Amino acid sequence: MSDEPGTLERAVEATLFAAETPMGVEALCAHLGGLAPGEIREALGLLEARYRSRGVHLVERGGRWHFETAPDLAHLLRREKEQVRRLSRAATEVLAIIAYHEPVSRAEIESIRGVQTSAGTLDVLMEAGWVKPAGRREVPGRPVVYATTPDFLDHFGLASRRDLPGIDELRAAGLLDPVDEAMEAAMRFEPDEADEAQDDTPDPDDDENLAD
């Protein structure tokens, strides 16, 4: 690897540094004049390697790239005590079910958990920015389905849903001891090999589907 980055690397680096939000390959292609996705991916790979030992890293989260502080240096930038976001047991179960089964409707969540799920639980997860409405199921009643967001992947340090731990890993880490039946049901299936894109635009009729 050359010690000096090429012109395209520098252009991608500058674009990501100035971007207000993470950017995907297609967005970078369009911003940099319609370059081929392969060229952008190659530049991203070179930049990721260059920054691997630096104070900031170039990382991919859910197909989008951004710079972030190196994990071992994050404590130097905290100016106040970090506030831990605590989820209720119900919210934790619902988040796990959505992450492992998305897109999933409220009725499907309730079927897995075996109990009713209040609209407030879903509201908490959406306010946290981890869950979003992702269209409607094309069945009678057209219920709203939910999916996780790029913020969910970023918060938990996941590049994609394929990185979600399996139930054996969670049990080995002591996170499922004893294993809760609802949580075990939620972890029963591995995430899909490729995340399917969902409709991000909430339907104006969502409220009636989110009511208790």
Question: Stretch 6-16: mean pLDDT, rounded?
Answer: 90
- Who has greater pLDDT, 212 or 108? 108
Q: Which amino acid is at 118?
A: S
Question: Stretch 63-73: mean pLDDT, rounded?
Answer: 87
> The tokens of 196 are what?
């399917």
Cβ atoms < 10 Å from Cβ of 111: 12
Q: Judging by beta carbons within 10 Å of its beta carbon (0-12, 13-18, 19+), is residue 108 exposed, middle or buried?
A: middle
E-strand stretches of the chain:
23-24, 56-61, 64-69, 104-105, 131-136, 144-148
In this predicted structure, the answer to whether residue 195 has a pLDDT above a threshold of 60 is no
Q: Which CATH architecture has domain 89-210?
A: Orthogonal Bundle (1.10)
Query: Tens of pLDDT along 77-121?
Result: 665 444 445 678 888 888 888 888 889 999 999 988 888 888 788
CATH number belonging to domain 7-73? 1.10.10.10
Lowest mean pLDDT among 27-36, 127-136, 198-207: 198-207
Domain ranges for the chain, please list them. Answer: 7-73, 89-210
Are 7-73 and 89-210 equal in CATH topology? yes
> What's phi and psi for 46, nearest 5 deg?
-65, -40
Q: Residue 212's pLDDT is what?
A: 40
- Who has greater pLDDT, 75 or 172? 75
Question: Stretch 23-32: mean pLDDT, rounded?
Answer: 91
